[in-house]
A and B are shown apart, each in its own frame.
Chain A
Amino acid sequence: MNLPIYLDYAATTPVDPRVAEKMIPYLTEHFGNPASRSHAFGWAAEEAVENARREVAALFNCDAKEIVWTSGATESINLALKGVAHFYQGKGKHLITVRTEHKATLDTMRELERQGFEVTYLDVDGEGMIDLEALKAALRPDTILVSIMYVNNEIGVIQDIPTIGEWCRERGIVFHVDGVQAVGKLPIDLAELKIDLMSISSHKIYGPKGIGALFVRRKPRIRLEAQMHGGGHERGMRSGTLPTHQIVGIGEAFRLARLEMATEVPRLTRLRDRLLKGLREIEEVYINGTLERRVCNSLNMSFNFVEGESLMMAVRDIAVSSGSACTSASLEPSYVLRALGRSDELAHSSIRFSVGRFTTEEEIDYTVTLVKQKVHKLRELSPLWEMYCDKVDFNQVRWAAH
């Protein structure tokens, strides 16, 4: 077993060696511009790009013509939200999203607010789930777009996308889904689901960074106003020379995801559950986000009375993420965990573990042992743990600000 152990697959993944191998010839030999129509170099590149488009479409059971290449999910989300808002603003200026969305969505919505759109931010319950009735009540005649993530990046909860899709379709509201964390983990059948736009990324599923896509439905046809102007690539929706090697990479990554999902999802679930079982043995731990509707590879836990960043420092041999924002100047903990109603203390004490294709059982067992040992050590150092053991009522304590 090699150290450090990577358990941050929800942040990014290594490029699968099989993917990297496919990409290399497109950097050196088949370097043509896919838009060059007049020679063999261009034709070879175009064929590779279209082949990759078919692979991405195959994972979602949609038409290859519905896939638009972008530089990644952040760009896809920007294109979807701004593109729809700008195109349909004559129809209405009301948009709906959720407080626990990724910053790519929230910050784009903020920008649209500055441009004069009105945005409703839905709350989630203590388990991270949207109240569907509240969503239904928020839909108005002037609502033009609803944007919701399939799987939350921090806590891994799965929203009820099929139901929301039905409601949006009935009302003629465009429905955008941030599908980044769902790719290769949940079956997504776009022939069945009433999703109009879906943003996806390559680097979360063993493809290269710097490439993503936006699914844009053709039946019923969804219109977008382009945000990037130039040579009219991607049917005018996203100009810019296509990065052939990156596209070959995403295509191969999605092909492998499709072929291996059936065996990989149960394996990841077993590993995650093994981790959960081990860490649950520690006193005063809390799971963030429901376990009932959760993606197979992630686990977010708060270790009460231990600060997240110091815990990450203690477990330097494993690479994980923390909901503690102690590294940022604001000192504010994760807005996602706060939206769940978690106390600031618990938000500061949270760690996200995410397993992936190269995670082994041995790594999980090592992680459990290490975390147990270090939580114990840090609690011995913690005045809050001491107070807890002395049965001090924390609500009665008046803390000095700093």
Chain B
Amino acid sequence: MAYSEKVLEHYENPRNVGSFDKEEHGVGTGMVGAPACGDVMKLQIKVGKDGVIEDARFKTYGCGSAIASSSLVTEWVKGKTLDEAMAIKNTQIAEELALPPVKIHCSILAEDAIKAAIADYKSKSGVKGQEEETAEATVCAPRPTTA
């Protein structure tokens, strides 16, 4: 399959690879996906006192598009408030990276990773967050894209 220039660029030079200490104050960790489905993304955010995301890190097991999607969102969330970061949609990620239809699930996963990291940060810092959806069984079907 042919990859877009942007996917290749992120894949060759992934931004913000690594990990923060999960227990560190201000760090939120989101891990989404499942090894059985061929994608696992771990996204971490470091939130400052002003509620702005100061820094982000990721590690991804998955195809080139999954790696590129998570690399891209680490760049995008930096400098954003939590609400602004929550507003990032998979369609924006897919568009930026020119993902083909079969790779849309990679962008969905990246959006989910942001939401999971923010939810983790909120629950740790005592902010009441939204109810997290948890699926019971591992079903490797991409869920429909949000419009």
* Residue of B1, B3, B63, B140 touching A401 (CB-CB under 8 A): B140
Whether A400 contacts B142 in the complex (CB less than 8 A), given A307-B39, A326-B63, A382-B59, comes out as no
Whether A399 contacts B61 in the complex (CB less than 8 A), given A307-B38, A381-B14, comes out as no
Chain B 32-60 interface 0/1 with A at a Cβ cutoff of 8 Å (1 = within)? 11111111111000000000000000011
A309 touches B63 (CB 8 A): yes
- Chain B contact residue count (CB 8 A cutoff): 43
Return chain B residues, CB-CB under 8 Å to A307: 38-39, 61-63, 66
Return chain A residues, CB-CB under 8 Å to B102: 327-329
CA of A309 to CA of B35, assembled, Å: 13
Interface of B is mostly: mixed
Interface of A is mostly: loop
Return chain B residues, CB-CB under 8 Å to A368: none
Q: Which residues of B (1-46) have their CB < 8 Å from a CB of A?
A: 1, 3, 11, 14, 17, 19, 31-42
Return chain B residues, CB-CB under 8 Å to A331: 37-38, 105, 140-142
A401 touches B139 (CB 8 A): yes
Return chain B residues, CB-CB under 8 Å to A310: 11, 62-64, 66-67
B142 touches A383 (CB 8 A): no
B109 on the interface (CB 8 Å rule)? yes
CA of A306 to CA of B3, assembled, Å: 19
B76-84, B120-128, B130-138 - the one binding chain A: B130-138
Return chain A residues, CB-CB under 8 Å to B62: 307, 310, 326
Return chain A residues, CB-CB under 8 Å to B116: 400
B117 on the interface (CB 8 Å rule)? no
A382 touches B60 (CB 8 A): yes
Smallest CB–CB gap between A70 and chain B, Å?
30
Indicate the member of A333, A381, A402 with the most B CB atoms within 10 Å.
A402
B64 touches A313 (CB 8 A): yes
A313 touches B105 (CB 8 A): no
Smallest CB–CB gap between B119 and chain A, Å?
12
* Residue of A313, A394, A400 touching B3 (CB-CB under 8 A): A313
* Residue of A324, A345, A381, A401 touching B60 (CB-CB under 8 A): A381
Q: List 12 A-B residue pairs with CB atoms under 8 Å apart, sorted by A's residue number.
A: A308-B38, A310-B64, A313-B3, A328-B102, A331-B140, A344-B38, A382-B60, A383-B40, A384-B40, A400-B112, A400-B135, A401-B139
Q: Considering the complex of A and B, which 4 residue pairs feature the smallest CB-CB distances, nearest first?
A: A399-B34, A344-B36, A401-B135, A383-B42
